[in-house]
Chain A
Amino acid sequence: MSDPFFPVLVLFAFAAVVVLALLFIAQTVGPKRMTAVKADPFESGNPPQGDARIRFPVHFYLVAMLFLIFDLEVVFLYPWAVSFRRLGVFGLVEMGIFLLIVVIGFIYAWKKGALDLD
C-alpha cells in the first residue's frame, strides 16, 4: 500500500475495466442494423471510388524522403536559434558543419536526378 505508484495501478485497472465494460455493453445491448452504405469503406464521407491499390509514380516516395530530411534540418535549426547567444561561436560552427553535411546531401540528390519531376 505504501508504494507511491499504487494509485497508478488503480488507474490502470480502472481504465481497463471501463474499456472492457463499454465494449461489452456495445456488443450485447446495441442494435445491429447493417446497410449497404455502412458496409462501404470509409472515404471521408464521399462515395468510395475505385480500388485503394493504384499505381503511382515512385517519385512521390523520393520527394517524401527528401522532404523529411530537409524538414528535419529546419527543425534542428530552431533549438539552435533559441539558444544562439548562449552557444556563441561554438554553436555557429557546429551548425555550419551540420548545414554543410545537409547541403552535400542536397547536391548529391540534385546530381543524381532526384529532383527532376518528370
Chain B
Amino acid sequence: MAADYVALLPAAQMLVAAIVVLVLDLFTPADEKGVLVWTSLAGLALSAWVALRFRGAEGAFGNTLLLDGFAVFFILVFAVVAALTILMSVQYVRESGIREGEFYVLILLSAVGMIIMASANDLILFFIGLETMSIAVYVLAGMWRSRAESAESAMKYFLIGAFATGFFLYGIALIYGATGSTHLDRIAEALGGPQAALLLTAGVFLVLVGLAFKVAAAPFHFWVPDVYDGAPTPVTAFMAVAVKAAAFAGWARIFLHQWEPLRDEWTPAVKALAILTMTLGNVLAVTQSSVKRMLAYSSIAHAGYLMIALVAGGEVGAQALLFYVVSYAAMTLGAFAVVAALKADDREGAAYADFAGLGYRKPFLAMAMSLFMLSLAGFPPLAGFTGKFYLFRAAVAAGHTDLAVIGVLNSLVSVFYYLRVILMMYMQEGGVEAKSFRGAPYLYAAVGFTAVATVYLGILPTGALYASLGAIASLR
C-alpha cells in the first residue's frame, strides 16, 4: 500500500511547503518576511528533487496519477517558473502592499494543482488539478487590493474560468457516457471497440474548448488582455507561463498521447484554432500602447505557435512542444520581470513611454529586455528562434506546410511590436522619469537567470531537446 503513494510525493511535498510557509507567515514579524521567500524556494527545490528521485515510480491510485518522465519534466518546469515568479515578486509585493505570506502560499498551492495536472492519467483527477491551480490564481490576480484593475482582473478571470470549467466537465461527462470511464487508459481501450461516436466526438470537443480557454487560444482569448493587464505583473507572468504550460501538459498527454486514434477528428479544429490564435494575437498586439498588454497579446500568439506542435503530432511534434514551452517560459518570464522592475509606487510602469531611455538609465535591464524581445520575435541565436525552428520543422515534417508558412508570416508581424520596445529604450530620450530603482537583488537574479537561459537554450538546445525527447518516450 505504501508504494501506491510514491507518485503523489511531489505534489504532497509542495502542499507541505505551502502549509509551512502559511504557518511561518503567522509567526514572523513584518520586517523578517525574507525567510518566507527562502522557505518557499526550498520547498520548490525539494519538490523538484523528490520528483527526480522517484521518477518512474509506480502509478498511484490505480494508475490515475503517474510520475513518468513526462510528469517529471513538467514538474521541473513548474518548480523553476514558480521560483522565478517568487523571486521577481518580492520587491513588487512589498511595494504595493500585497500580503506577502499569502502570495507565496498561493503560488505554491497553484503549483500543487499544476503538478497534479501534469501527472493525472484520469480526467477527473486532471480536473481537480485544474481547479486547484485556477482557484489559487484567481485569488492571486486580485491580490493588489487597492488597485481597481486588479479586482476587475480577478473577477473576470474567475467568471471566465468557471465558464470554461463547465465546458470541460460537460466534456468529461459525455466521454464517460460514451466509453464508460474517466480513466484515460480505459478510454483509450474503449476507443478500439464499438462506441457511441457522436457522444465521444462531442465530449472530445468540449474538453478541447475547456483547455483552449486556459491557454487563451482564439476565439477563447477575449478575457486575456484585461486579466493580464490588471493582475500584478509577477502574477501575469505566472499566468502566461505556468498556467499555459500546465494546460499544454494536459493537452499533450490527453490529446497527443491518449487520444492519438482520434487524431483525424480533432486535428482540423486545432489547426483552425492555431491559425486564428497566431494571427489574432499578433495583429492585435501591434496596436497596443502598453507593453504589458502587448505581452498579453503576444502570449496569445505564442499559444498559437505551440498549437502548431499539437497539429504536427507524433514524437517530433511533442518534442517541439515541450522544448518551446521551456524557451517560451524563459523569455516571457524575463520580459515580465523587466516590466515588474519598472513599477512605480502607485501604478504599473508598463506603457511604452515608461521604457523611453531605459537603455541609458538602466543598461542591464534594457539589455536583458532587448534579449527577450529579440528572442520572442524569433531572432537567432536565441531560445525563441530555436524553439520556432523545431515547431515549424515538425509542422513541415507532418505535411502541414501551410501552418509553417502562416507561422513564419506571423513572426514577421511580431517583429514590429517587439522591436518597438527596443526602439523606445535606445532611441528615445528619458521620457517619463520613473522612480529610482531601489536595489532589488531578487528581481535582478530572476532577470539574469532568464536572460542566461534564453541565450543558453538558443545556442545549446541539445540538453533540453534530449530531456523533451526522454519525457515523450516515457509516455509510451
Contact = CB atoms under 8 A, between A and B. Distances in A.
A101 interface: yes
A48 B112 CA distance: 50
B26 A107 contact: yes
A92 to B, nearest CB: 14
A101 B1 contact: no
Nearest to B1: A90
A108 interface: yes
Nearest to A111: B26
Contacts of B23: 104, 107-108
A107 B22 CA distance: 10
In this complex, the interface size class of chain A, counting residues with CB under 8 Å from chain B, is under 10
B19 interface: yes
B22 A108 contact: yes
A108 B22 CA distance: 8
Contacts of A101: 19
A30 B2 CA distance: 70
A107 B1 CA distance: 32
A52 to B, nearest CB: 23
B1 A104 contact: no
Interface string B32-55: 000000000000000000000000
Contacts of A104: 19, 22-23
Contacts of A108: 22-23, 26
A111 B19 CA distance: 15
Interface in B8-29: 19, 22-23, 26
Contacts of B1: 90
Q: Which of A90, A101, A104 has the most CB of B within 10 A?
A: A104
Contacts of B22: 104, 108
A54 B26 CA distance: 34
A101 B112 CA distance: 15
A104 B23 CA distance: 7
B314 to A, nearest CB: 41
B397 to A, nearest CB: 47
A107 B19 CA distance: 12
B4 to A, nearest CB: 11
Interface in A103-118: 104, 107-108, 111-112
Contacts of B19: 101, 104
Interface in A80-110: 90, 101, 104, 107-108
Nearest to B19: A104
B142 to A, nearest CB: 16
A106 to B, nearest CB: 12
A112 B27 CA distance: 11
B3 to A, nearest CB: 14
B201 to A, nearest CB: 20
Contacts of A90: 1
A8 to B, nearest CB: 15
Nearest to A101: B19
Given A104-B19, A112-B26, 4 more contacts: A90-B1, A107-B26, A108-B22, A108-B26
Interface of A: 90, 101, 104, 107-108, 111-112
9 contacts: A90-B1, A101-B19, A104-B19, A104-B22, A107-B23, A107-B26, A108-B22, A108-B23, A108-B26
